[in-house]
């Protein structure tokens, strides 16, 4: 299997006036034909984990004298370099891609598509990977291995099912009988944490005496500014009123809640696309950029090869600042229903609601917040209302492994790694829990 690093793409391109409806019909046609692959043979792109196209409709600013034009969002998570990935996609579906981007200012020739798309690429402020270091082919092979071994173990004699050494022996016999299962084993076993991430933490600790006191002083002043800003938000008219009253285009999004729900739970996974306006002011801009930078930095240290603070339902999550710093885009792929998704954030961790509040409290329409991190996302109904209000439907959404959960991906990888090394009887018992 390849050792390509997982990457993410977020591309926003303009949509020409009066072309939005035509583009939506084309994208919905592509989505309807996902299984037949008539327009885009997604399954022939071996490196793609998830992919979506979503139309961000034109909308009015709630507090700026500006209008956001309609844009087409392309987001994908994949293995390997972005340019190679786009070339593979264009090679398989150049005509369809040209037709899609002809609704904007896209090129007329397929050899210009890569440069056009990369020119409209946005930097991901946060990119969380639920199962880093695992390419698509490895995920599919591990899942097949785990299921095959599970079937072999079903034939164990009743008296052997509580003997870890007998179980291990039966598994090794199964591998001998099915040698093709071992073809997917990588040469080296993945480590749970990259060494350079540990060095980041060590460097931060060693330099703490030099930056800790100034940082605390800045933090106190910063929180004072933030609390003043929150008080002003509470007194601002748009904060008290329904944003629909300011932007009629939001009515259609609000009414699409039931439509969005009908497109969810068709498989064991779901997607979420959310775009919201950032509050005005230098303090809010600096705060949001700083929080995103800090969360991403901490994430690079703590998210390596383990679930996000006990939440194992996430595949990929992205936060991206768009529209010249005026709006915040949130993109995720997750297991289970939307309500359970929000419930996991609020109920299964104390840290995640604080982080979500620190990020989204800098945006319009977020529930009332105190001192940047308190209240806000801790109130589940208000958080769900905020997410649904600014949710945007995805006209096209593809998953390379639609029936494999993130937790099963991690368990299958741990199971395969256990086969590649000797284990004691106690270690075998722990290892078998991943089967």
- Helix pair angle (164-177, 425-432), 10° resolution: 70
Question: Rounded to an integer, what distance in angstroms lies between the CA atom of residue 121 and that of residue 429?
Answer: 47
How far is Cα 125 from Cα 121, in angstroms, rounded to an integer? 13
Where along the chain do its domains lie? 6-108+115-128, 136-189+406-432
pLDDT confidence of residue 379: 86
Dihedral of alpha carbons 327, 332, 386, 256, sign:
positive
Q: Quick check: 306 and 192 in contact, CB under 8 A?
A: yes
Question: Residue 59 carries which DSSP code?
Answer: E
User: Which pair of tokens denotes residue 142?
Assistant: 């591990």
What pLDDT was estimated at residue 190? 57
- What does the alpha-carbon distance between residue 161 and residue 84 come to, in Å, rounded to a whole number? 47
The alpha carbon torsion through 389, 390, 396, 398 (nearest 10 deg) reads -90
- The CA R_g of the chain, rounded to the nearest whole Å, is 24
Taking alpha carbons only, the member of 84, 111, 74, 30 closest to residue 331 is 74
Supply the pLDDT for residue 83: 96
Spatial CA neighbour of 252 closest among 393, 129, 351, 158:
393
What are the residue ranges of helices labelled H in 154-246?
164-177, 195-206, 208-235, 237-240
Q: At what angle do helices 282-302 and 208-235 cross, to 10 degrees?
A: 130
CB 70 within 8 A of CB 409: no
**Opening angle at CA 86, ends 82 and 91, nearest 5:** 150
Tokens, residue 106: 């896209």
* Burial annotation 106-117 (CB, 10 A radius, 16+ → b, else e): bbeeeeebbebb
φ and ψ at residue 359, rounded to 5 degrees: -80, -60
**CATH number belonging to domain 6-108+115-128:** 3.30.70
Q: What is the pLDDT of residue 238?
A: 45
CA–CA dist 374, 383 (Å, integer): 13
Give the phi and the psi of residue 418 in degrees, each rounded to 5: -65, -25
pLDDT the model gives residue 404: 96
270: phi then psi, degrees, rounded to nearest 5: -140, 165
d(CA 96, CA 31) in angstroms, rounded, equals 13
Q: Quick one: tokens of 222?
A: 């910063």
Q: What is the pTM assigned to this prediction?
A: 0.87
Residue 182: predicted pLDDT: 84
What is the DSSP track for 341-402? HHHHHHHS-SHHHHHHHHHHTTBTTPPPEETTTEEGGGSHHHHHHHHHHTB---SEEEESST
Tokens 């005005």 map to which residue? 280
- Cα distance between residue 130 and residue 304, in whole Å: 9
**Predicted confidence pLDDT, tens digits, the chain (435 residues):** 545 689 999 999 999 999 999 999 999 999 988 877 778 888 888 899 999 999 999 998 877 678 899 999 999 999 999 999 999 999 999 999 999 999 999 999 999 999 999 999 999 999 999 998 899 999 999 999 999 998 888 878 887 788 888 888 889 889 888 888 887 777 655 544 444 456 666 776 777 777 677 777 777 777 776 777 766 665 454 444 444 444 444 554 456 566 677 677 778 899 999 999 999 888 889 999 999 998 887 776 665 545 565 678 899 999 999 999 999 999 999 999 888 888 877 776 677 888 899 999 999 989 888 888 888 888 888 898 899 889 999 999 999 999 999 999 999 999 999 988 888 888 888 898 888
């Amino acid at each position: 299997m390849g050792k390509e690093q997982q990457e993410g793409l977020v591309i926003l391109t303009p949509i020409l006036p009066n072309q939005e409806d035509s583009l939506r019909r084309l994208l919905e046609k592509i989505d309807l034909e996902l299984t037949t692959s008539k327009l885009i043979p997604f399954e022939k792109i071996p490196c793609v984990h998830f992919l979506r196209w979503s139309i961000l409709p034109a909308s009015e600013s709630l507090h700026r004298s500006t209008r956001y034009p309609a844009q087409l969002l392309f987001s994908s998570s994949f293995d390997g370099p972005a340019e190679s990935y786009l070339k593979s996609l264009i090679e398989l579906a150049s005509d369809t891609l040209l037709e899609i981007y002809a609704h904007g200012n896209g090129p007329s020739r397929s050899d210009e598509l890569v440069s056009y798309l990369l020119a409209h690429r946005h930097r991901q402020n946060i990119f969380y990977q639920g199962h880093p270091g695992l390419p698509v082919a490895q995920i599919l092979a591990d899942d097949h291995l785990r299921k095959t071994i599970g079937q072999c173990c079903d034939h164990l004699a009743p008296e052997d099912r509580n003997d870890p050494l007998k179980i291990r022996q039966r598994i090794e016999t199964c591998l001998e009988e099915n040698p093709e299962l071992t073809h997917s084993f990588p040469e080296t076993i993945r480590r749970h944490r990259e060494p350079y991430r540990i060095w980041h933490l060590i460097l931060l600790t060693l330099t703490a005496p030099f930056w800790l006191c100034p940082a605390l002083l800045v933090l106190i002043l910063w929180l004072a500014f933030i609390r003043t800003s929150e008080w002003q938000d509470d007194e601002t008219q748009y904060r008290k009123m329904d944003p629909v009253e300011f932007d009629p285009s939001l009515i259609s999004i609000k009414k699409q809640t039931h439509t969005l729900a009908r497109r969810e739970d068709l498989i064991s996974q779901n997607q979420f696309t959310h775009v919201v306006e950032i509050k005005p002011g230098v303090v809010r801009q600096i705060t949001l950029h700083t929080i995103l930078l800090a969360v991403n930095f901490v994430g690079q240290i703590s998210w390596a090869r383990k679930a996000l603070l006990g939440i194992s339902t996430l595949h990929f999550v992205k936060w991206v600042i768009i529209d010249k710093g005026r709006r915040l885009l949130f993109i995720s792929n997750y297991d289970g229903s939307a309500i359970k998704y929000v419930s996991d954030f609020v109920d299964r961790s104390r840290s995640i609601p604080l982080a979500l509040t620190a990020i989204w409290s800098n945006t319009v329409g977020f529930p009332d917040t105190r001192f940047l991190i308190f209240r806000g996302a801790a109130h589940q109904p208000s958080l769900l209302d905020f997410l649904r209000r600014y949710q945007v439907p995805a006209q096209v959404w593809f998953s390379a492994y639609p029936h494999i959960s993130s937790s099963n991906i991690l368990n299958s990888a741990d199971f395969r790694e256990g086969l590649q090394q000797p284990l004691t009887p106690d270690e075998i018992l722990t290892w078998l829990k991943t089967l």
